[in-house]
Structure 1
Amino acid sequence: MLESCQNAQERWGGVHKLIDRWLLERNELIKAYDDLGAEPDALSETRKQLQEFCGTLVDYVSAGHFEIYEQLTGEAKAFNDQRGLELADTIYPRIDVITEKLLAFNDLCDEGKCVAEKFKELGGLLHERFELEDCLIEVLHNAHKAQDAVQA
């Protein structure tokens, strides 16, 4: 998972400082997940580390919904990128479903009911979310390149 995050940053880093920061937050989230994932059956023994992971998770999810997605949609509108807007309309509902599951995991952990099975499921959800987000960024990035080529 970490390798795909680094690839995303190499491909889209610099497009926008907000996205750069968000990709760094994603990297931190993946590292925290990997650290906990080494011993998922010991989650109850790593309460502080799990709380830190959940804090990073909520921060990342919040940044996506309240900053990045608005930025991506705004960029697509500014470049009159109908393909990007249609893609967003298709992808955002799935991201919303994943977000609900991620936040439900956080709530379980807050209640002290975090179990290894749910933690493992979380990895698949994060992976899917990252792929969907990368798709959105790629479409936006290509719109920028097309616009730049027209202006040149």
Structure 2
Amino acid sequence: MLESCQNAQERWGGVHKLIDSWLKARHELVRAFDALGAKPEALAENREPLQEFCGVLVDYVSAGHFGVYEQLTKEAEAFDDQRGLDLAETLYPRIDVITEKLLAFTDLCDAGKCVAEKFKELGGLLHERFELEDCLIEVLHNAHKEEAATQA
């Protein structure tokens, strides 16, 4: 998962400061996930690292929903990129479902009911979400690239 995160940053870093910051936050989230994932059975013993992870997770999810996705949609509209808008319309509902599951996980942890099995499920959800987000960024990046080539 970390390698995938680094590849995204290499491909789209610099396209937009907001995306750069968000990809950096993704990298931090993946590192925190990997650190906890090394010993999932210890999740019940020491809640502090888990609570820190949940905080990073909520920050990342919030940045996506209340910043990046909105910006990506505005960029697609500005470039009259119907393909990007159609893709967003297709992907956002699935991203919303994943978001609900991620936030439900943080609620379980807040209630002291986080178990290793739920943590393992989280990895798959994060991986899927990152792939969906990468699709959105790629379409936006290609719209910028095509627009710049047309104007040159």
What TM-score comes out, normalization by structure 2 length?
Answer: 0.99
* C-alpha distance in 2 between matches for 1:140 and 1:27: 20
1:27 aligns with 2:27: yes
Match of 2:10 in 1: 10
* C-alpha distance in 2 between matches for 1:29 and 1:67: 17
Structure 1: runs of 5+ lacking an equivalent: none
Shift of 1:83: 0.2
* C-alpha distance in 2 between matches for 1:45 and 1:18: 36
Matches within 5 A, 1:85-100: 85-100=85-100
Match of 1:142 in 2: 142
1:63 aligns with 2:63: yes
Secondary structure, in 3 states, of the residue corresponding to 2:144? helix
Letter of the 1:42 counterpart: A
Shift of 1:46: 2.2
- Identity among equivalent positions (%) equals 81
Q: Which piece of structure 1 moves more, 17-26 or 39-48?
A: 39-48
Q: How many residues align?
A: 152
1:127 aligns with 2:127: yes
Letter of the 2:93 counterpart: P
Per-residue CA deviation, residues 92-142 of structure 1 (Å, 9 max, x unaligned), is: 000000000000000000000000000000000000000000000000000
Secondary structure, in 3 states, of the residue corresponding to 1:45? coil
Shift of 1:91: 0.1
Per-residue CA deviation, residues 60-105 of structure 1 (Å, 9 max, x unaligned), is: 0000000000000000000000000000000000000000000000
What TM-score comes out, normalization by structure 1 length?
Answer: 0.99
Match of 2:151 in 1: 151
Shift of 1:42: 1.2
* C-alpha distance in 1 between matches for 2:127 and 2:134: 11
* C-alpha distance in 1 between matches for 2:106 and 2:113: 10
Secondary structure, in 3 states, of the residue corresponding to 2:14? coil
Shift of 1:15: 0.4
